[in-house]
Amino acid sequence: MRNVVVTGMGLISPLGLSVQESWKNAVAGTSGVGYITKFEKERFTTQIAAEVKGFDPKRYFDPKEVSRWDLCVQFGIGAGVDAIADSGLVITPENAERVGIIIGSGVGGLIGISHTSLKLEAGGQKQVSPFFIPSVIINMISGLLAIRIGAKGLNYGVVSACATSNHAIADGFHAIRRGEVDAMIVGGAEASITEIGVAGFCSARAMSKRNDEPQRASRPFDKDRDGFVLGEGAGAFVIEEEEHAKRRGAKIYARILGVGMTADAFHFTAPPDDGDGAMRAMKLAVSAAGLTPQDIDYVNAHGTSTGLGDIAETKAIKRLFGDHAKKLLVSSTKSMHGHLLGAAGAVEAALTIMALKEGIIPPTINLENPDPECDLDYVPNTARTQQIRYALSNGFGFGGTNATICFGKA
């Protein structure tokens, strides 16, 4: 099988507008959570979120286009453009059919759908933009990026809730391994911090209501956790067949060694108590990589800061790794950047890759009173310097969908 490596990364996250800025803040244990500024928050039980700060869409679009495309699309294109620039990959007529794009989203253009629904109700059909449908459909990120760079290989979007980005990476990985393409741009984007998005999660009682302490609200594995914090942003990667990358002199961040994808077949939002689906996804990723559980040094946990989810993931890790679980480093960077839904896996994969590259494990902040049922080494509150060889990045979503990526040091 063909080997796959990561040669470019782009991030637009609550921790920063680039990979380096996001990484610096993650290592420092900085929280990207604050009060919602996008709309009047007072009528909601949760009034906090992890918003992207300072994003300028005019870096990626001309002013006319800015008004046309939903923020989710803007985030996705921005991360994709940055990843391609970082990789140095040049698309030509000769290689265009050998480069594909898969960038997904859990919800897509929720802001555009919500705002356009209000316009329709108030003013009728004439108030609905002819660009409304293209602006909000999830595959438009991949489509627009292909138009911009001329990539003519396989092109689509992935939708699998909070596992979306990991599935996009996995599909790109398999396409390269099968020989269909030599390079892929993969990742995820999300922009769901809008009234209807917040209202929906509030009604589901899924989000933290620690409104008086925004930066301490996301606290995975802590006994006092009370739900996740909604985030937004995008992450994208250029991944390539290894020899293709070497021939063009590309820098290599990390290797993608294996992926694992499973279904819980249990409940539409809750994981099984024993974390069976998560355990099987990790097991498949490790096996596909040709490794054993004892080879893994670090797990970037899905770790959403929800009562059931954190315990189930802990049990899944302990079931798979046995005694080795006590030696594992495990952290949830959602404690800092919140839960980006369909883009979560992309941000977390980038931070996992940087951990491999730099030999620094980002912390789980706000872990002050550990849940007795969450008894692993979650790298609490302070980053840890430690060289690692192999790492897993987990993404689990509503509907019981699970996807784990196994990365190796370059």
Alpha carbon separation from 409 to 2, 255, 297, 332 (Å, rounded) = 17, 6, 11, 20
Handedness of CA 124, 127, 133, 136 (dihedral sign): negative
Strands (E), 80-160: 99-104, 155-156
Q: Which two tokens stand for residue 31?
A: 């929280």
Handedness of CA 79, 85, 91, 96 (dihedral sign): negative
Q: Which two tokens stand for residue 306?
A: 């929800």
Q: Which two tokens stand for residue 10?
A: 């782009």
SS3 content of the chain, % helix, strand, coil (to 5): 40, 20, 40
CA 57/CA 70 separation, integer angstroms? 11
Report CA 12 to chain centroid distance, whole Å. Answer: 11
CA 198/CA 203 separation, integer angstroms? 9
- Burial (CB count within 10 angstroms: exposed 0-12, middle 13-18, buried 19+), residue 179: exposed
Which is catalytic among the residues 167, 244, 302, 337?
302
Looking only at the bridges linking them, the beta strands covering 254-263 and 4-12 are antiparallel
DSSP assignment letter at 386: -
Which is catalytic among the residues 162, 202, 374, 406?
162
Establish whether 302 is a catalytic residue. yes
Which is catalytic among the residues 167, 244, 337, 339?
339
Alpha carbon separation from 287 to 283, 290, 320, 344, 395 (Å, rounded) = 6, 5, 12, 24, 17
Alpha carbon separation from 351 to 20, 22, 75, 156, 300 (Å, rounded) = 10, 8, 18, 25, 8
As annotated, the active-site residues are: 162, 302, 339
